[in-house]
Structure 1
Amino acid sequence: MINRRLIAMMLRPLGRAPGRLALAAGVLLVATGMDVLGPWLIKHYIDGYLVPEDWRLAPLALLAGLYVASQLIAALGRYLQTLWFARIALDAVHALRQRVFRHVMRLPQHVIDATPTGEMVARVTNDTDDLRELYVEFLATVLQNLVLLVAILLAMALMDLQLAAIAATLIPVAAVVIWGYQRASGPAAMAVRRLRADQNARINEAIGGMGVLQAFNQTERFRERYHRLNVAQYHARLHTIRISGLLLRSALDLVGVIILAALLIAYGLDSLQGGAEIGVLYAFVTWLGRVSEPLIEITQRFNIFQQAGVAGNRILTLLDRPQATSGDDHRPIARADYRLEQLVFRHQGAAANTLDDISLDIAEGHFLGLVGHTGSGKSTLLDLLCALQPVSGGALLFDGRRIETLAPEVLNAAIASVPQEPFVRSTTLRDNLLMGLEASEASIARAIDEAQLRALIDRLPDGLETPLGERGLTLSTGERQLLALARALLRRPRVLLLDEATASVDSLTEARLNRALSTLKGRVTMVVVAHRLSTVIDADAILVMQQGRIVEQGSHEALLSRPDGVYYHLWHQPEAP
């Protein structure tokens, strides 16, 4: 579970605060020294003053003062070290969570599409939270107890080597217990982690599709599926608790009692020979209790290590996924044109190409329509044109340069897209329009008018400041598409890519959008995927796609002149306008 890569990942953020870490470690050493000093002072009092009945006030007062001071310093040190170590741990987890989220934001689109949202959320939140427990527990508890354990064993050895050897047998026994616990609980800890991720995925899926589940009377089936996951996780957690109860405190408590008995026997034999001191017995019994407790604390927290090890390896798996590659060509776009040369694209793990042998020129200011049956590759081609997916073969040139060599900011400044399912945040309409862009009120108003969004804004109670709710569900599907179009136009792009932008709007709004596209024709390079063929009637060229290939191309009139063509049948099918 805990391997070198995981340790290296966790030590990386700790290295950013060496001074604070050294200060906390120094306080830990001082506090531990004062902790160990207490029994030694009492042993000195018993054997040096109590047994011989030496009641001199000055040395007794000095011993009492040293004892009180050592305990006060130890208490203050324990408080400070716990506080500082906890802060160091929280800072480390904060840095790690930022790193994981930054990595997720740079993953390729196909990785995001292939990973359930709930599982991705679990890795960024739950898994990093479990690592937080490991940081806090290790720095604030385990490290303190390890230092205390070493200090006590050294003090024992300095006082009586034979009794120290007996007490030290607790260490290998604890190591065996920890090894057995790891072997027994590892699979159960992995199962708990996997089941929790599945639960998050099911919850996310159910909430996202609640309307459909209720409409098709599937809520009970989903509830039963979640119940089975919940029961499975319950049994997995119960299994880890049983193992913990058997192998951690219970086992070590038993071993501690046996070692205490061995110490008493050894002390009794020394007493028979007249070499034993009562103060030594007191100190060893006190220290033995403090030896047992650190070991119990460490072993009890080993279940946290197990869970954190599983969580950490899941995070490492996520960080191992290659990020989307981006180019370093920062030269601005001179010509907003495309050239596709024998382009090939295949989804990861797919048996066949999604796009095959696509060769095409799209001139600057050109209006290109993409039509075809569902699954013909239209939306995939659009993803390639805005560099959301890497090409699998051939070449895709933008402004005469391979698109994968262009820097993201260069592409983002030139290309805007309106996806088939618009992304709407739960903030205000203004925030959704701007998406971090700084724009004047005049620019916002122009984009709103061009996208035919004015009627919606006039209807909303607070206009642009109206909150849109989760995923913008207060808007209709068509209104969300108009919002996405206005957001794209606000950026004044050189290229506008639209995926079924008019699929969910009424006929009147569709006509207005078509007029808006007509006003952009010649000024902006447009590629429009359309199910409603009326959207692309005025296109300079229409490509008809079938099974990932271009089977026809030409103007609307030219394509309609072919009665045996695919476009002709698309136009005359009953659901077409």
Structure 2
Amino acid sequence: MNNEQFEPQQTPVKGGTGKRLLQYGLLYKKTIIIALIFLIIAVCAEIVGPLIAKRMIDQHISGINQTWYYVEEGTAEAVPYQGQWLVRQDKLETNAAVLGSAEFEQKGLTFTMVQDNGQRTDLTKEELYQFYKPEIKPIIHLSGLYLALLAVSAIFIYIQRLLLQNAANRIVQKLRHDVYAHTQRLPVKYYDHYAAGQIVSRVTNDTEAIRELYVGVIANFSMGIVYIVAIFGAIFVMDTTLGFITLPLIPILLLWIYVYRRYAAKYNRVLRAKLSEINGTVNESIQGMTIIQAFRKEEAMEKEFSELNSYYFKFQNKMLSLNSLTSHNLLNVIRNIIYVVVIVLFFTNQFAEAITVGLLFAYIDYLNRMFNPIVGIVNQLSNLEVARVSAERVFKLMDEPGMEVEEESMPRYRGDVAFNKVSFAYKDKEYVLKDINFAAQQGETIALVGHTGSGKSSILNLLFRFYDIEEGSITIDGVDIRNYSKQQIREHMGIVLQDPFLFTGTIASNVSLNNPDIPRERIEQALKDVGAYDMFMQLPDGLDTIVIEKGSTLSAGQRQLISFARALAYDPAILILDEATASIDTETEAMIQSALDVLKRGRTTFVIAHRLSTIRAADQILVLDRGVIVERGNHDQLMEQQGKYYLMYQLQAGTGAGTVPV
């Protein structure tokens, strides 16, 4: 039931997963480059903030703690104090006359002036204000600049995210379109080995995981890398020693990513494979719910699903443990260790006079800012691994050999079909057809009969090129069908299956399959030709009656009649009826039999039928047994031979003339 089993080591898809994801990203490289430029501008604007704060603290707030010099009245930048004038050390002009010096000591909110002669005087609020007054205007200007830079950063970050996520959505839209388009190119035999839910999981769940790669992972990684590089640059510009103290964060982060990916990749492969199997099981259960309930298999199906679910739960817990172990809490520990080291060095004066309060504030601010993008990167590691494994699965599907869908048409052929020494095996050397030879002329009806597994459907599969032969040749109008594309061959073929498939839409759209070349008049005529027009017109909405998935609201006979009309609306040169009347009651069959007799004229018709009474008028009847044509001829000829066909016909007629394995 579940064909897609987990393989610990999957063969890498050709071209490399990362390279192919990059190729999709390059489709919108202009948008991405513009977004990255906007990101760099935003980060630079934001990174200037702590430098402004450092300047405000060191020069305008803590500057009072520098040495002050008594100068003459009128000296630039001088501050009045008790009839005297003082200038701060960093503002003192080189040619100014110095009359003395003083320093400030601060205890709580009390400031004390200490003269160079040792005299100490506590300052009143009014006196203290005089020393801070010249700094108010620069502080306001710097604060305004800081707010302006924050606004610029916010605007550019918004535009950057908008551009990047728009590009990401377009990339995944293109990828999902390519994956779905490739499913249309895959041969029918591919779908024989996979449950529908497993393929659906790749087109939906796996591409959605890849979307998160472009929308979340790349956005966070690009932003994080730009932030980290910019902040490290700013720290080294402020103080080289602090830069080297912080530098070990880079190898720690790289080691962290390496260890996480090593284990996460293994777990995610299991999770994606099992999720695909779960989807396949659910899809299969829904499709076969009638059988499940009819045979009371609810508990068995629930048990099977529970086993898959438990296995999935087990590995989800492993991923949870891994994520918890390598969560951002570990980053907080590392950050706090760096804080302790820097603060201890600061208070033990290991930095001499190089580290100021403003520099320490800016460094801690930068460190906090740097850890936010690092946390963002770490939190996206799980999404990165999920996306990478999902991409492997998607590209593995896309690497399956497919056929190009060609739009080029070919003129309608006559329909003369010939099989020449055709042998075919679905598996190596296990032949289901052996040395098949026959010819069908335009307008002839060829009936294929035989027991189950005799090769009847295989002949039609080869004619439709659902599978390609390796031995012999099949020709249409004398030309090997391999000389045409599969789409060109099928353009003038029509098929009606035993179990017709209807799509969500209307009765009319199911006849035309939304082909703009088939007008409403031809749809109506096709339904009239099969005798179904009046039946469907009695419905409330007529031919516009809504048909849900698989046409479950219609009877089996109604679905089959729509399938007949669909084939006829396309006016095929070759018409194939594969057990087409098996689901139709005797009355309905009689209704369309006369119409079919008319519609077969001018067309080469192949009929597979177990109900032998429906093929009495066939021009040729081929009797197959274990992949070999054992009898051929029309009905009367085969009855005269009294072989396998005679026995089958007598058995169905109820005469009891003999038995035959059917």
Question: Do the structures match in fold with TM over 0.5?
Answer: yes
2:18 corresponds in structure 1 to 7
| AA at the equivalent of 2:433 | L
Q: What displacement does 1:456 show? A: 2.9
Tell me, in whole angstroms, the C-alpha distance in 1 between the residues paired with 2:205 and 2:654.
Answer: 49
Q: What displacement does 1:94 show? A: 0.5
Aligned-partner SS, 2:610? coil
Equivalent residue runs for 1:287-302 within 5 Å: 287-302=366-381
CA 408–49 in structure 1, closer or farther in 2 if over 3 Å, else same: same
Q: Deviations over 1:506-552 (max 9, x none)?
A: 11222233322321344111011111111211011100111112111
Q: Deviations over 1:28-66 (max 9, x none)?
A: 011100111101111122122222236334433332222
Tell me, in whole angstroms, the C-alpha distance in 2 between the residues paired with 1:195 and 1:322.
Answer: 25
2:98 corresponds in structure 1 to none
More deviation, 480-489/183-192: 183-192
2:414 corresponds in structure 1 to 335
More deviation, 287-296/538-547: 287-296
Tell me, in whole angstroms, the C-alpha distance in 2 between the residues paired with 1:198 and 1:331.
Answer: 42
1:22 corresponds in structure 2 to 33
Does structure 1 retain, via aligned residues, the 8 Å contact 2:432–2:626?
yes
2:507 corresponds in structure 1 to 429
Matched residues, percent identical?
31
Tell me, in whole angstroms, the C-alpha distance in 2 between the residues paired with 1:383 and 1:187.
Answer: 40
Tell me, in whole angstroms, the C-alpha distance in 2 between the residues paired with 1:388 and 1:221.
Answer: 35
| AA at the equivalent of 1:444 | I
Q: What displacement does 1:315 show? A: 0.3
Aligned-partner SS, 1:452? coil
2:354 corresponds in structure 1 to 275
Equivalent residue runs for 1:381-392 within 5 Å: 381-392=459-470
Tell me, in whole angstroms, the C-alpha distance in 2 between the residues paired with 1:41 and 1:305.
Answer: 36
Tell me, in whole angstroms, the C-alpha distance in 1 between the residues paired with 2:647 and 2:363.
Answer: 95
CA 157–432 in structure 1, closer or farther in 2 if over 3 Å, else same: same
| AA at the equivalent of 2:35 | A
Tell me, in whole angstroms, the C-alpha distance in 1 between the residues paired with 2:197 and 2:171.
Answer: 24
Q: Deviations over 1:151-189 (max 9, x none)?
A: 001111111111111112111112112222122222221
Q: How many residues align?
A: 575
Unaligned runs of 5+ in 2: 1-9, 65-131, 656-662
| AA at the equivalent of 2:280 | A
Any runs of at least 4 consecutive aligned residues in structure 1 with deviations exceeding 6 A, and if so which? Answer: 1-4, 326-329
Aligned-partner SS, 1:460? coil
Of residues 29, 48, 52, the one that matches 2:59 is 48
2:217 corresponds in structure 1 to 138
Q: Deviations over 1:249-308 (max 9, x none)?
A: 122222222222222233345456333222111111111112222212101110001111
Tell me, in whole angstroms, the C-alpha distance in 2 between the residues paired with 1:477 and 1:240.
Answer: 48
CA 275–203 in structure 1, closer or farther in 2 if over 3 Å, else same: same
Aligned-partner SS, 2:622? strand
Does structure 1 retain, via aligned residues, the 8 Å contact 2:528–2:534?
no
Tell me, in whole angstroms, the C-alpha distance in 2 between the residues paired with 1:116 and 1:108.
Answer: 15
Equivalent residue runs for 1:347-386 within 5 Å: 347=426, 349=427, 352-386=430-464
1:73 corresponds in structure 2 to 152
Tell me, in whole angstroms, the C-alpha distance in 2 between the residues paired with 1:393 and 1:13.
Answer: 41
CA 116–394 in structure 1, closer or farther in 2 if over 3 Å, else same: same
Which structure has greater strand proportion? 2
Is it true that 1:454 corresponds to 2:465 in the alignment?
no
Tell me, in whole angstroms, the C-alpha distance in 2 between the residues paired with 1:96 and 1:439.
Answer: 31
Which protein has the larger Cα radius of gyration, Structure 1 or Structure 2?
A: 2
2:276 corresponds in structure 1 to 197
Does structure 2 retain, via aligned residues, the 8 Å contact 1:451–1:516?
yes
Q: What displacement does 1:408 show? A: 4.4
Unaligned runs of 5+ in 1: none
Does structure 1 retain, via aligned residues, the 8 Å contact 2:618–2:634?
yes
Q: What displacement does 1:9 show? A: 2.2
Tell me, in whole angstroms, the C-alpha distance in 2 between the residues paired with 1:394 and 1:501.
Answer: 28
1:147 corresponds in structure 2 to 226
Q: What displacement does 1:431 show? A: 0.9
Tell me, in whole angstroms, the C-alpha distance in 2 between the residues paired with 1:573 and 1:78.
Answer: 81
| AA at the equivalent of 2:618 | A
1:536 corresponds in structure 2 to 615
Does structure 1 retain, via aligned residues, the 8 Å contact 2:578–2:608?
yes
Q: What displacement does 1:356 show? A: 1.8
Of residues 229, 245, 267, the one that matches 2:324 is 245
Does structure 1 retain, via aligned residues, the 8 Å contact 2:473–2:480?
yes
Of residues 398, 409, 425, the one that matches 1:346 is 425
Which structure has greater helix proportion? 1
Of residues 622, 628, 633, the one that matches 1:549 is 628
Aligned-partner SS, 1:52? helix
Aligned-partner SS, 1:231? helix
Q: What displacement does 1:575 show? A: 7.1
More deviation, 213-222/314-323: 213-222
2:5 corresponds in structure 1 to none
2:165 corresponds in structure 1 to 86
1:156 corresponds in structure 2 to 235
Does structure 2 retain, via aligned residues, the 8 Å contact 1:379–1:499?
yes
Give the TM-score of the pair, scaled to structure 2.
0.83
More deviation, 391-400/366-375: 391-400
1:265 corresponds in structure 2 to 344
2:646 corresponds in structure 1 to 568
Q: Deviations over 1:352-378 (max 9, x none)?
A: 012221122111111110111111111
Is it true that 1:419 corresponds to 2:497 in the alignment?
yes
CA 551–576 in structure 1, closer or farther in 2 if over 3 Å, else same: farther
1:35 corresponds in structure 2 to 46
Q: What displacement does 1:504 show? A: 1.4
2:573 corresponds in structure 1 to 494
Give the TM-score of the pair, scaled to structure 1.
0.95
Q: What displacement does 1:331 show? A: 4.2
CA 381–291 in structure 1, closer or farther in 2 if over 3 Å, else same: same
Tell me, in whole angstroms, the C-alpha distance in 2 between the residues paired with 1:246 and 1:134.
Answer: 22
